[in-house]
Amino acid sequence: MSNSFETARTRAANNANAEDAAAWRWFSDLVEDGRLRWCKAAAGWLVSVDNRHLATESNFYEAIRVAKARATVGCAKTPAAVQECRGD
């Protein structure tokens, strides 16, 4: 039983690390392209992509993750939107 617990724990840690890496790659790519903006306000961290507000969260990291999730969902709706989001 301990072995399966450790395996599940390792798998969860690896998944979390992959998600973190993907979020920060997304972040750095958009910052480099000048498409991502953020600021600290009374309501929390506001994050926008291409001048479209995507997230307001109390924690910066969570605001970036929420913005990425919302931007990704928006990009996955149609093949044309996927190409537009990738810049094809």
**pLDDT one-digit tens code per residue, 59-74:** 999 999 999 999 988 6
Poorest-pLDDT segment among 5-9, 68-72, 78-82: 78-82
**pLDDT one-digit tens code per residue, 9-30:** 888 888 888 888 889 999 999 9
* Residue whose entry in the numeric block shows the structure tokens 């291409």: 50
Task: Write down the H helix ranges in 1-88.
Answer: 2-32, 60-75, 79-86
**pLDDT one-digit tens code per residue, 35-55:** 999 999 999 999 999 999 999
The token pair at 24 is 């920060």
Q: Which residue has the higher pLDDT, 78 or 25?
A: 25
pLDDT exceeds 50 at position 88: no
Q: Are 59 and 45 in contact (CB under 8 A)?
A: yes
Rg (CA), the chain: 16
